[in-house]
Amino acid sequence: MNLSDKEKRYYSRQLPILKEKGQKKLKNKTVLIGGIGGIGSSAALSLARMGVGEIIIVDDDKVDLSNLNRQQLYSENDVGKPKTKIAKQKLEKINSNIDIKLINKKIDQNNIPHILDESIDAFIDGFDNIETRYVVNKRCMEKKIPYIHASCEGMEGRITLIIPNETPCLHCIYQGKKPRQKEPIPVMGFLPNKLGVMEAEQFYRFTFNLKTLKNKILIFSKDKMEPSILKIEKNKNCEICQET
């Protein structure tokens, strides 16, 4: 389907880069964002403005005042309301050319087959815990869905692009470990926001075959302005990669 006049105007600053063909390609994409907190909000805003045609948001949380130092989709008058509902309202106001779908659930082993399937072009990680990430990682490997992973704590943040069969999976990277996290996780708001934007960029780069963080992990830390980019390799003994 061709772009409407409204879409051509909305995307006019990026059409010289994407051309109509590229913009239509984005319009035909579906991404699923797991967790619409700090990282997820920021990713959703960038993906929506970019014109990704369908964004599915999965979360079962309600907005809390303590979210507001970082979670860009929410305001003080949203406190107590479901995050997914507020996120949909805000994103639809920002770009009415795209579809926002909601799944009001916490992802677990039982419901993941109903949530994540081949119709999803990429999974965007907005979670705050490794257990749920492992559940999604396994499903993404089985169904060959690209998984864009980001996480942060304090002033440390990391991001990588996982492509099934091609790059290390999350289990390869963290070896199935469940590092102890401080609860609640201390974090400066700019860090998840930066990582969410970078997740959207990874999706864009992957979609248009540009350089990505495949087989690399980018790490921000407190003591350095420039991020470190480390090469990562598949773990030959990874139980998830062997199974799938």
Residues that bind Zn ion (CB under 5 A): 169, 171-172, 238, 240-241
What are the counts of helices (DSSP H) followed by strands (DSSP E) for the chain?
A: 9, 8
State in angstroms the smallest separation of the CB of 137 from Zn ion: 8
If the CB atoms of residues 10 and 134 are measured against Zn ion, the closer one turns out to be: 134
CA pair distance 123, 140, nearest whole angstrom: 8
State in angstroms the smallest separation of the CB of 183 from Zn ion: 27
Strand ranges of the sheet holding 30-34, from the earlier edge strand across to the other edge: 99-103, 54-58, 30-34, 122-125, 147-153, 156-162, 216-220, 228-231
Nearest to 149 by CA among 196, 103, 111: 196
If the CB atoms of residues 187 and 238 are measured against Zn ion, the closer one turns out to be: 238
CA pair distance 162, 116, nearest whole angstrom: 16
If the CB atoms of residues 42 and 151 are measured against Zn ion, the closer one turns out to be: 151
The Cβ of residue 116 has, within 10 Å, a number of other Cβ atoms equal to 24
State in angstroms the smallest separation of the CB of 212 from Zn ion: 18
State in angstroms the smallest separation of the CB of 242 from Zn ion: 8
If the CB atoms of residues 52 and 172 are measured against Zn ion, the closer one turns out to be: 172
